[in-house]
């Protein structure tokens, strides 16, 4: 066989989420927030922490 029997796989256009650290505005604790999240719950004081606008 001179021609490959397998089709070429297309490159994936989906980006993987990456972790980031933001400061809780209520208690000042560092909160881990993934790049695909807009808000998380602070484990220190149960405050809803939103991603700061750039």
Domain residue extents for the chain: 19-50
> What is the structure's pLDDT at 53?
74
Say how far apart CA 37 and CA 47 lie, in whole Å: 15
CA distances from 52 to 1, 3, 6, 29, 38 (A): 57, 53, 46, 15, 9
pLDDT at 52: 82
Kindly report whether the global pTM for this prediction surpasses the value 0.75.
no
The predicted pLDDT at position 5 comes to: 65
Per-10-residue mean pLDDT of the chain, 54 residues long, equals: 61 75 95 93 96 74
Please enumerate in sequence order all residues whose Cβ is within 8 A of that of 22, keeping only pairs 6 or more positions apart, or say none: 30, 31, 33, 49, 51, 52
Res 1: pLDDT: 47
């Amino acid at each position: 066989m001179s021609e490959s029997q397998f089709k070429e796989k297309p490159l994936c256009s989906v980006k993987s989420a990456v972790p980031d650290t933001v400061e809780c505005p209520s208690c000042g604790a560092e909160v881990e927030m993934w790049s695909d999240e807009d808000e998380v719950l602070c484990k220190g004081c149960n405050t809803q922490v939103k991603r700061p606008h750039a």
